[in-house]
Amino acid sequence: MATATGAMAATSRAPIPAVAAFPGDLGLGRCRAAVPGWRTGGRRLRASPSARRPFVFSPRGVSDSQSSQTCLDPDASTSVLGIILGGGAGTRLYPLTKKRAKPAVPLGANYRLIDIPVSNCLNSNVSKIYVLTQFNSASLNRHLSRAYGNNIGGYKNEGFVEVLAAQQSPENPNWFQGTADAVRQYMWLFEEHNVMEFLILAGDHLYRMDYQKFIQAHRETDADITVAALPMDEQRATAFGLMKIDDEGRIVEFAEKPKGEKLKSMMVDTTILGLDPERAKELPYIASMGIYVFSKDVMLRLLRENFPAANDFGSEVIPGATEIGMRVQAYLYDGYWEDIGTIEAFYNANLGITKKPVPDFSFYDRSAPIYTQPRYLPPSKVLDADVTDSVIGEGCVIKHCTINHSVVGLRSCISEGAVIEDSLLMGADYYETEDDKKVLSEAGGIPIGIGRNAHIRKAIIDKNARIGENVKIINFDNVQEAVRETEGYFIKSGIVTVIKDALIPSGTVI
């Protein structure tokens, strides 16, 4: 059953919907223009701590609920700069990052990881976006220029999505040393923008979020920094950096992957951030999502004056800001979120979109679509195939085969008799003509795609892979970890990953 993602892909250049202004109750009761400490033009007048106005939290003011509305003045398109951190070498996602940057890794049949934060920005009226990267950025550059290359948001907004690669300069001859260092190295460019806040995002997370609510909570609480927080139970909490808050939602303590008594001490009352009492009891911890809003003047001061040698936001700059008395607030995001940092997490996130009746993450939300590069591919062709609980991308040719609980990427060619189970096929970057295939066959070669009678189970097949006839990729011996790069594949967490452009000869058993 082919998906309808083609039409959605073609919306990658659609205009950004305007943000509506709602004069009624907005969680904390007013639009920004009426709040003390601001003047028309959106410049914040920094008040002394004693002069801060009192405020009362409500769930709509500090959490990402469906019912809350936003009224940003000035709106996000003119007052917020989005900065997406592309990550380092992506060693935990290797070999998917062998020939591409982590944000350029394909996702969900038609998309790439970078499309998630960029789409969240565009749907949130944040139209000025930089993407920072330093490893294997050629395919990322190409994708961003094709998907978002024209003037986003029209003449007045002057929106853009630009890649900023690490570069040497007289002041700093080094590569990016971490998230904070990457932003510091380009601060000379960021400070030229006449904005109020910097929205710092990661390029390898899967989620859907309205950043306008995030930014509004930042402004309503008069915060210096606001950290997006995910509520979680005790079992998951040990794998994350946790935060402790006071009764105003202000962060007072951090702990990295705590265990035992230290973990117990990090329990918080999450009703403060908007959870109902029952769910707050189930989810008594909050973890940092690695997503932040910084007031512009605060970012400049922290990176240049307070912590000029700090490399990382999460472990150095933000805890340091708390220690020196800055107002660092938590903002609750209570929805699906996945950090796609490992092969196992990537595999599970992709297969999660095939779940029924409700997938973990949906690409079918018309109010907040995920944009991507318009490829103008033909519809997928399915000829006498048995396809169940699967997602099929654009331009595929699927003949007389069986596909179950799998994601099949664009331009995939699957031959007669093949069986695909619990797998992710990324597809191909181009088609081979019938003449190409004939020449290959005569020379003993293998065309791009899945050959006749191949059996693939619990595997990731990267782009342009050539899988021969009667190949079995089923991890028969249940190997958990193996490096077979010269043979074209890796095994991590029991998942076989076939490398991009690899050739698996006919009759091979893995």
163-184 pLDDT tens trace: 887 765 666 666 677 788 889 9
Highest mean pLDDT among 152-156, 361-365, 466-470: 466-470
Domains for the chain: give ranges and CATH numbers.
80-354 (3.90.550.10), 381-504 (2.160.10.10)
- For 158-310, where are the alpha helices, taking DSSP H only? 179-185, 187-190, 211-220, 234-237, 260-265, 277-282, 296-301
Q: Work out the average pLDDT over 62-73.
A: 59
421 falls in which pLDDT band (50, 70, 90)? very high
Lowest mean pLDDT segment, chosen from 74-88, 152-166, 375-389 = 152-166
Is residue 184 within 8 A of residue 203, CB to CB? The reply is: no
Q: Output the CA angle 191-195-198, nearest 5 degrees.
A: 75
Burial class (CB in 10 A: 0-12, 13-18, 19+), 336: middle
pLDDT above 50 for 28 = no
Lowest mean pLDDT segment, chosen from 96-100, 102-106, 170-174, 446-450 = 170-174
Q: What is the pLDDT of residue 178?
A: 79
Residue 242, CA distances (Å) to 202, 215, 232, 313 in order: 18, 21, 10, 14
pLDDT above 50 for 5 = no
Q: Which residue has the higher pLDDT, 351 or 270?
A: 351
The two three-digit tokens of residue 180, written as one number: 């904070």
151 falls in which pLDDT band (50, 70, 90)? low
Q: Work out the average pLDDT over 253-269.
A: 91
Q: Which residue has the higher pLDDT, 73 or 388?
A: 388
Please, what is the average pLDDT of the chain? Answer: 84
Strand partners, 419: 402, 455
Is residue 409 within 8 A of residue 393, CB to CB? The reply is: yes
pTM (2 decimals)?
0.84
110 falls in which pLDDT band (50, 70, 90)? very high
Q: Output the CA angle 140-6-146, nearest 5 degrees.
A: 30
Q: Work out the average pLDDT over 283-312.
A: 93
pLDDT above 70 for 240 = yes
138 falls in which pLDDT band (50, 70, 90)? confident
Residue 269, CA distances (Å) to 249, 337, 485, 490 in order: 10, 21, 48, 44
Q: Work out the average pLDDT over 117-144.
A: 89
Q: What is the pLDDT of residue 46?
A: 45
Q: What is the pLDDT of residue 68?
A: 52
The two three-digit tokens of residue 187, written as one number: 């601060």
Q: What is the pLDDT of residue 210?
A: 94
pLDDT, tens digit, for every residue of 195-231? 999 999 999 899 999 999 999 999 999 999 999 999 9
Q: What is the pLDDT of residue 136?
A: 77
What 3-state class would DSSP assign to 332?
Answer: strand
Whole-number percent of the chain with pLDDT over 70: 83
The two three-digit tokens of residue 466, written as one number: 């050539």
Q: Work out the average pLDDT over 115-141.
A: 90
Whole-number percent of the chain with pLDDT over 90: 59
Is residue 125 within 8 A of residue 157, CB to CB? The reply is: no
pLDDT, tens digit, for every residue of 8-18? 444 443 443 33
Q: Each residue of 460-482: b (16+ CB within 10 Å) or e?
A: bbbbbbbbbbebbbbbeeeeeee
Q: Work out the average pLDDT over 218-246.
A: 93
